[in-house]
Each structure stands twice: as structure tokens, then as C-alpha cells.
Amino acid sequence: MNFYVMTLFPEMIENGMHTSITGRAIAKGLLSLETVNIRAYSETGNGRIDDYPYGGGAGMVMQAEPVCRAYEGLVEKIGSRPRLVYLTPQGRVFDQRMAEELAQEENLIFLCGHYEGIDERVLEEIATDFVSIGDYVLTGGELPAMVMMDSISRMVPGVLSNQESGQFESFQGNLLEYPQYSRPAVWRGKEVPPVLLSGHHGNVDRWRRDQSILRTLKSRPELLLEVAFDKKDRKFLRALLADEGDERLTEEQKSFLTKLLAF
Ligand code: 6GU
């Protein structure tokens, strides 16, 4: 996977991506990263790449020409026109499925905007994908580009070690990950759930599945609508609803569960 990033802050991208697992993958040659400083393509030669917005309003707009020249320089070097992702809060919201799809590409270009954005005309010419990473506003596209590259990278074969691949389960089957514990067995008076010390793998697996379901119910209930529950899952859900364990559900959670169990 070859990542190309067009940005006004290449050092931010380089520093972030050369750290930890993505840094190791670049060193191994599994990923490559090339940043393009849009400022180097300033038309006036003085480094200026922004101007006032037509129609008035706050802030500055990145001009079309420097962005377009940076892009043309890049495609010439690559020898093809890869997908170009423009990072914008107006885009489609990034998710695991989009990460999986983009991980199939050989080359990807990310375009990071700043200020009030980029002149629409160049976006119409070069952007193939408009992507947001969630419903909040950031100062620029660099962190979103790094978020996307991080999640795409972990799907590139060899990037994660076998041990690290285990973490892939975190979002499997639409359930959130169960809680984890390590030594000591008692920390500041708090015990590890006894089943985890029992050595009974079947019971451990069952407990973890139940905890995953419970966590998903508590923080992301809408994900449960897509989960295929088996008999034992349903038994757990009915016990929850009947207040048979230590868990207390809110009325809202109970009413959600009642509807879920009716399917
Ligand atoms: Cl992609 N860019 C900016 N500036 N803010 C965001 C975003 C992107 N995604 C969420 N907030």
C-alpha cells in the first residue's frame, strides 16, 4: 500500500505515521508514505496558497491552482491516477467497511484542507471520495487522514503481527470487545472476575460473549440490530431483562431488549 498525502503540514503526517505499528510497517516496506507540501506549489512563488472567499465571509480559502499543480506533479510521479480522498466534515462518514474497501487499492492520495476549505473547482476535477471521520469539526484534514491510514494499514497483510491480529476481534460481528484483565488478581481491593481464573475455556468464552453483548447494549445498542443471536445469547438477554444477575438495566435498555427479543 502506497500512501500519498497532500498537505500544508507534511511533518505532522511524517511524525505520526513513522511512529508505532505504521512506522514499523514503513520500515519493513509493507507501506510507503510520501508527503507533498502544497505550499511548494504556490503560484506567486512566495509560499502563499490561500485567498479571501468570493462572496465574503470569515476565513481564507485554499486556491485551486497550487492544489492542482501539487496533484499533477504527484500523478506524473506515480504514473496513474489513484483514488483521491478529500478529508472534509461534509463527506461520507468513515467506517470499518470503507477501510476494508480502501485497503484493496495499491495507491491512495489524501488531500488535507485547512482554513475554510479548498476552492470547489479543483475538488470537482481531482477528488474521487469525500470523507469525514465523524460529526465534530477539526482544524484540518491531517488527523483524519492519519486516522484513515492507520485503520487501512492494519488490514494490509503483514502489518500486524499474529499477536496484534487478535485485536482485530474488537469490532467483529457488530459486538464491542469484552473487558480485559491482567495481573495482579486483586488490585487495590478489586478482583478479577473469578471465571477468568477458573481455567474453564468454555465458561470463559461464554462470559466474554455475554460481556460483549452487555457492553454493546450499554454504549452502542443500535449495533445489536445487526447481530445474529444464538440460543445461549438469547438466554443471557432474557436473564438480563429479568434482573437475574448483578446488572441493572435502565427502563430504556429494557424496552430496547424487549423489542430485540421479539424478533
Ligand atoms: Cl475529514 N476534516 C475536518 N476539518 N474536520 C472533521 C473531519 C474532517 N471529520 C470530522 N471532523
Could you read off the pLDDT of 132-152 as tens digits, one per residue?
A: 999 999 999 999 999 999 999
- Range(s) for CATH 1.10.1270.20 in the chain? 172-261
Rounded to the nearest integer, the mean pLDDT of the chain is 95
Residue with cell 492520495: 109
* Amino acid making up residue 108: L
Q: How far is CA 5 from the centre of its chain?
A: 17
Q: Cα(134) to centroid of ligand 1, in Å? A: 7
Quick one: fold of 2-164? Alpha/beta knot (3.40.1280)
Q: Cα(34) to centroid of ligand 1, in Å? A: 21
- Range(s) for CATH 3.40.1280.10 in the chain? 2-164
- CA 50 – CA 222 distance, rounded (Å): 42
Q: Is there an atom of ligand 1 within 6 Å of 135 CB?
A: no
* Residue 166 banded pLDDT, cuts 50, 70, 90: low
115 versus 218: the higher-pLDDT residue is: 218
State residue 135's pLDDT score. 97
Q: Is there an atom of ligand 1 within 6 Å of 93 CB?
A: no
Q: Cα(145) to centroid of ligand 1, in Å? A: 9
C-alpha cell at 41: 506549489
Q: What is the CATH number of domain 172-261?
A: 1.10.1270.20
Q: Is there an atom of ligand 1 within 6 Å of 134 CB?
A: yes
State residue 248's pLDDT score. 86
Arithmetic mean of pLDDT, 252-257? 96
Task: Of 205, 261, 203, 254, give the one whose Cα is nearest residue 231.
Answer: 261
* Residue 167 banded pLDDT, cuts 50, 70, 90: low
By alpha-carbon position, which residue is closest to atom 3 of ligand 1?
138
